[in-house]
Structure 1
Amino acid sequence: MTKSVIIGAVLIGVLVLVAVFVLPNGEADPEVPPENGNGEQVAQAEYVGSDSCQGCHSEAYAGWLQTEHPYMIQEADEIWPEAAAALEEALADPESEFVEIGRGHGRIESLDEIQYVVGQRWKQRFVVKTEEGFAFLQSQYYPLGADGPGLYVYGAGRIYEDRCLACHATGFDLEAANNLDRTADDYRLESVTAELGVGCEACHGPGSIHAGSPAADNIQNPRDHSTQAQNDFCGFCHARNNGHVELEGREDPVGYQVGGDLRDVTRPLSLATGENVWRMVIDDETEGYYDREEEGSMRFFADGAARSHRMAYNDLEQNNEKFAAMSCIDCHNPHSENSLTADSFDELCAQCHDETFDIDEIMPLRAMSSNTPDIRTHTFFPGGVGNPNDDVIPMAVPPSDID
């Protein structure tokens, strides 16, 4: 199986939803219970964990374990030996930036300070506890880096609970995260989540009632919603944005209701509409599109194709025809190791295209999960060229290109 097939598990963007039945403050809304696509109200329920699904859905459960979703955050003992060795080497160098936490949090002195790791297949990041909460080291281990396997500088010091945990765990409790004593010895991410990683209930909602009395109308099925709602559903965690609509500083979809509008919750970077992006112009030529006017990162190449990972939605939205007609889950299966609804790209694409369809022409590897282009563009235009919007406001001040 090729890397380009497997990489779909990273691109998938399929159905990552957390706290589907809560308000932005983390509390359930008893007046507005969620509905399934048949218009029937889905009863409020509690989280019971993905293991509870295994008995009746063994095949889906086994497939889910082969995707990246369960490993979006996991215990520190899952760190790769190669990554641990590289970090040990960095610890021995007092000047190494790889063991810095960043943002005023200092550096670690021992691997024992790493409490969680993110990722299992393509890269790993490392999470440590600070007085403000859990934060990332400013490095990641990347086995396929342009300069070979090893640690690469990537991000620094972001507090997980305050920015992004809702996309990496199931049942994130925002109220608890805002009110618990994060300096307490027993404070852990399990204190504010129902399950580490993206579990079954991240997509299907709390499952206690369904587990007790299985029925189609007491569990959430994203397929019951419109095509755009399905794409928005995937886009909550697989669309780059420049912030939450209501909660300053957040970049995850806390408060989203299945079937809702993505733009009610986050501000997606959109070349299709010109929203939330700024165009870098040098000598009358567009150099790229950034996520902020100042101190931002270039998220789209000059031709409009996504430059960063987790942007399949931002790509697809540029193709109005495909966005209206194709759901992410027409092509992607969240219960499959290769994430596709067929065994290969050739087999998948042949369902609608003849043998002249060239996946490497229409969906070239352009976006980068680290410093290597290894993610296929989703604009579906020849050559991967999107639909850049020249009406996007040029930047007043050139930004620094940071990730």
Structure 2
Amino acid sequence: MVGSTRRLVAIGLAAHLAGCDQAPESPPSLSAIEESRLADYVGGQQCAACHVDATNAWLGSHHDLAMQVADSSTVLGDFDDAEFSYNGVRTEFFRRGVDHWVRTDGPDGMLTEYRVTHTFGVDPLQQYLVEMTGGQIQALSIAWDSRPAAAGGRRWFHLYPDDTVDHTDPLHWTGTFQNWNGTCAECHSTDLQKNYVLATDSYSTISSSIDVDCEACHGPGSLHVMAPEQVPLPLAHDAEARWLFVDDTGIARRTPSLASRQELETCAQCHSRRSQFTDDFAPGDALLDGFRPSLLEENLYHADGQIQDEVYVYGSFLQSKMHAAGVSCSDCHDPHSTRLRFAGNALCGQCHLASTYDVTEHHHHARSTSGSLCVDCHMPAKTYMVVDPRRDHSFRVPRPDLSSSLSTPNACNGCHEDESTEWAATAVASWFPEGRGQAFHYGQALHAGRTWAANRGELLREVVLDPIMPAIVRATAVGLLARQIDDATLDIIDQVLRDDNVLVQLAALDALESLPPTSRIQAAQRFLTHSLRTLRMTAAHILLPARAELSERRAADLDAALAEYREAQLFNSDRAEGLFNWANTLVQLGRLAEAEELFQDAIERAPVFTAAYVNLADLYRRAGREQEARTLLEQAIANNPQDPGAPFALGLSLVRSDAPDDAFAALELAAELA
């Protein structure tokens, strides 16, 4: 449960409580501080005495209100015996004394009463948390629309209105995707420790602060409180930075150039689509030391990199010219209030000269219309969670000329829905006859890679080797190239393993898994001691099948990195994916009984996780338990009938069992679903 402090602070209580304005007469030396201990979290209230303006800006912000104890002052929803019906279930919201309660369908489908313990978020919606057994906390999927009534708000609504989610569905509020401990909490509180215990299937989740306070971004502050002048914190304001108009382009340049991406990577800990593999991580640490960000993957992003699923900004921003020019989050967003620094086009006018860009000759729309707003053309929005529009941070030039061939949206037709993409493309071409219409876009290469087009290799290689392309695009192209390994692709992989960007290196390292184990050694072994944990763990995963061929020193490096990989999977063992990943590793280590148990646990945790069935069935095959394998695969098909993996594996099993007719039927089904 959330607490006010996470652990005892080793420094004396008097020093702990002395604010910056009450420092000891003789501050300890920096060397003495460094020798004494690592910094600890002390709570944002310790910062307020000195940082008054920042604190006042933060109060009432989305970060401040990210999570609150549920009471009459924090709950926005209607709990006055309100009702909401969804998929045949009538949910009731009511009060019992000072507490807020909900009666809804539980994990068994039966109506059950739950006390609301916390609020989650504030605008444009507010969710509510309830406690289950074993320290598990879940977020209700019926949320309160906190927008004004005139905007359609002040009502209860379901997060999946177009689906028929019941208690057996992974999207049900009692399932993994609505689990607070492992899915939501990390980004709504400060210094969160999930503390999941696999043996008891329970959580003891704690945090230093219930909300996102100062130390969530600036890191643990105890040493700074002791000696503020000697111990600066990460993300200190860069007072020297200026954006100046130095030429006739009408676009400002940053002076001096941005020296560090620390701010962006700190924000990206939460504002990105990523996997997390530890909570032993502090603000200021490199992102890939605690997280692995998603690339421009199918179903997450459109082929041209526009947002599709909930991807939380970072992957979009990495594609942008703003990122390449040194723009960082705080150039547009006040980091304490979380508000935009300026309203309307004035925000963009900080760096884009209004006399050049905020004119009809540029945007070709009447003033005071939505088409004249920079963001409506260059940052189109998509609505998530029913009521929450979020803008695409790739800051792209609209390309309606690509929409037909790539099946991608564009800002023009996002407004002019009754017009064709050809109409929009013709209009843009007439406005900018020397513009980007018909110019090559990396989306064409990614689309070719996704669809296995005949020219996929040529286009993807062009993107990978172009140093001007955004690194996240190049990394995505590497992954698509690696789907079909040939000599040209091997040359590319070998080259980009030495790339300057770690995302590109990581994608190339992943690509080595397509090679025979012994062929991976020369290229991958140096990554076993890489400075970033993500790359070390990936190298361990890649090289484990070749461990016997490694030198004694490299085998020791692999064992150390594999121990980190194990800890990462156990950290995520409250999810089927973590259990599945470590089970696969145990198979390679020859620990088959342990692997079987973890595969079974993964299936129990996520009955629709087809990959766990398939790999467990293969384990049974290797042990001569073919009938058990077929039974398991039939169960997988019943639980997830749209996944082609299980019928394909079943078809192979039936071939081995000399049942050709049944095998053909299963393989035909797999082909239809693929």
TM-score (norm 2): 0.41
Rounded to whole Å, the distance in 1 between the matches of 2:68 and 2:328 is 29
Rounded to whole Å, the distance in 2 between the matches of 1:376 and 1:238 is 13
User: What's the CA shift for 1:149?
Assistant: 4.0
Aligned: 1:114 with 2:171: no
What are the Cα deviations for residues 33-66 of structure 1, in whole angstroms up to 9, with x where unaligned?
A: xxxxxxx979622222111111111110010113
Q: Which amino acid aligns with 2:265?
A: D
Change in CA separation of 1:203 and 1:105 when aligned onto 2, cut-off 3 Å: farther
Q: 2:65 aligns with which of 65, 71, 84?
A: 71
Aligned: 1:195 with 2:200: no
Task: Tell me if the contact between 1:45 and 1:208 (Cα under 8 Å) persists in the aligned partners.
Answer: yes
- 1:128 equivalent in structure 2: 130
User: What's the CA shift for 1:268?
Assistant: 2.2
What are the Cα deviations for residues 242-269 of structure 1, in whole angstroms up to 9, with x where unaligned?
A: x33x46xxxxxx3334444433433323
User: What's the CA shift for 1:228?
Assistant: 2.9
What are the Cα deviations for residues 187-207 of structure 1, in whole angstroms up to 9, with x where unaligned?
A: 986xx1111010111111122
Q: Which moved more, 1:41-50 or 1:342-351?
A: 41-50
Q: Which amino acid aligns with 2:158?
A: V
Give the secondary-structure state (helix, strand or coil) at the position aligned to 2:270: helix
Q: 1:152 aligns with which of 149, 153, 157?
A: 157
Task: Tell me if the contact between 1:71 and 1:197 (Cα under 8 Å) persists in the aligned partners.
Answer: yes
Rounded to whole Å, the distance in 1 between the matches of 2:127 and 2:133 is 20
Task: Tell me if the contact between 1:126 and 1:140 (Cα under 8 Å) persists in the aligned partners.
Answer: yes
Of the two structures, which has the highest relative contact order with CA contacts closer than 8 Å and spacing of 6 or more? 1
Alignment of 1:364-383 (within 5 A): 364-372=379-387, 374-383=389-398
Change in CA separation of 1:344 and 1:128 when aligned onto 2, cut-off 3 Å: same
Aligned: 1:142 with 2:145: yes
Aligned: 1:48 with 2:50: no
What are the Cα deviations for residues 202-241 of structure 1, in whole angstroms up to 9, with x where unaligned?
A: 1111222222332252433365894433222211101113
Aligned: 1:354 with 2:387: no
Rounded to whole Å, the distance in 1 between the matches of 2:82 and 2:42 is 38
Give the secondary-structure state (helix, strand or coil) at the position aligned to 2:261: helix
Q: Which amino acid aligns with 2:145?
A: Y
Give the secondary-structure state (helix, strand or coil) at the position aligned to 1:127: strand
User: What's the CA shift for 1:301?
Assistant: 4.4
Task: Tell me if the contact between 2:67 and 2:188 (Cα under 8 Å) persists in the aligned partners.
Answer: yes
Higher share in helix = 2
Count of paired positions: 319
What are the Cα deviations for residues 319-362 of structure 1, in whole angstroms up to 9, with x where unaligned?
A: 2662452111222221125x23x332433321211222442344
User: What's the CA shift for 1:309?
Assistant: 5.1
Change in CA separation of 1:41 and 1:365 when aligned onto 2, cut-off 3 Å: farther
Q: Which amino acid aligns with 1:215?
A: E
What are the Cα deviations for residues 146-191 of structure 1, in whole angstroms up to 9, with x where unaligned?
A: 865422323523322223322111121244x5499898xxx986xx
- 2:447 equivalent in structure 1: 390
Rounded to whole Å, the distance in 1 between the matches of 2:197 and 2:306 is 37
Rounded to whole Å, the distance in 2 between the matches of 1:343 and 1:350 is 9
Q: Which amino acid aligns with 1:390?
A: H
Rounded to whole Å, the distance in 1 between the matches of 2:103 and 2:82 is 13
Rounded to whole Å, the distance in 1 between the matches of 2:40 and 2:230 is 17
Alignment of 1:206-285 (within 5 A): 206-215=220-229, 217-221=231-235, 226-241=259-274, 243-244=275-276, 246=277, 254-271=279-296, 277-278=297-298
Q: 2:52 aligns with which of 37, 48, 58?
A: 58
Q: 2:185 aligns with which of 153, 159, 165?
A: 165
Q: Which amino acid aligns with 2:155?
A: G
Aligned: 1:328 with 2:322: no
TM-score (norm 1): 0.66
Give the secondary-structure state (helix, strand or coil) at the position aligned to 2:323: helix
User: What's the CA shift for 1:127?
Assistant: 0.7
Rounded to whole Å, the distance in 2 between the matches of 1:306 and 1:103 is 33
Rounded to whole Å, the distance in 1 between the matches of 2:60 and 2:348 is 23
Task: Tell me if the contact between 2:271 and 2:313 (Cα under 8 Å) persists in the aligned partners.
Answer: yes
Rounded to whole Å, the distance in 1 between the matches of 2:329 and 2:68 is 26
Q: Which amino acid aligns with 1:256?
A: F
Rounded to whole Å, the distance in 2 between the matches of 1:359 and 1:101 is 44
Rounded to whole Å, the distance in 2 between the matches of 1:127 and 1:88 is 17
- 1:316 equivalent in structure 2: 317
Q: Which moved more, 1:346-355 or 1:357-366?
A: 357-366
Task: Tell me if the contact between 1:308 and 1:367 (Cα under 8 Å) persists in the aligned partners.
Answer: no
Change in CA separation of 1:46 and 1:256 when aligned onto 2, cut-off 3 Å: closer
Q: Which moved more, 1:112-121 or 1:312-321?
A: 312-321
Task: Tell me if the contact between 1:227 and 1:325 (Cα under 8 Å) persists in the aligned partners.
Answer: no
CA RMSD of aligned residues (A): 4.0
User: What's the CA shift for 1:103?
Assistant: 8.1
What are the Cα deviations for residues 76-128 of structure 1, in whole angstroms up to 9, with x where unaligned?
A: 1155444434x731399982368687782656744x61101101232111111
Higher share in strand = 1
Unaligned runs of 5+ in 1: 1-18, 20-39, 248-253, 272-276, 279-289, 291-298
- 1:304 equivalent in structure 2: 305
Change in CA separation of 1:57 and 1:137 when aligned onto 2, cut-off 3 Å: same
User: What's the CA shift for 1:75?
Assistant: 0.6
- 2:218 equivalent in structure 1: 204
Unaligned runs of 5+ in 2: 1-5, 7-32, 93-101, 160-170, 239-257, 359-372, 399-409, 412-440, 453-640, 644-674
Change in CA separation of 1:100 and 1:182 when aligned onto 2, cut-off 3 Å: farther
- 2:429 equivalent in structure 1: none
Rounded to whole Å, the distance in 1 between the matches of 2:376 and 2:86 is 46
Rounded to whole Å, the distance in 2 between the matches of 1:220 and 1:67 is 21
Give the secondary-structure state (helix, strand or coil) at the position aligned to 2:305: coil
Task: Tell me if the contact between 1:102 and 1:138 (Cα under 8 Å) persists in the aligned partners.
Answer: no
Rounded to whole Å, the distance in 1 between the matches of 2:190 and 2:386 is 29
Q: Which moved more, 1:151-160 or 1:165-174?
A: 151-160
Change in CA separation of 1:373 and 1:219 when aligned onto 2, cut-off 3 Å: closer
Change in CA separation of 1:141 and 1:332 when aligned onto 2, cut-off 3 Å: same
What are the Cα deviations for residues 275-324 of structure 1, in whole angstroms up to 9, with x where unaligned?
A: xx22xxxxxxxxxxx1xxxxxxxx33465322455621121112266245
Change in CA separation of 1:267 and 1:206 when aligned onto 2, cut-off 3 Å: closer
Q: Which amino acid aligns with 1:331?
A: C
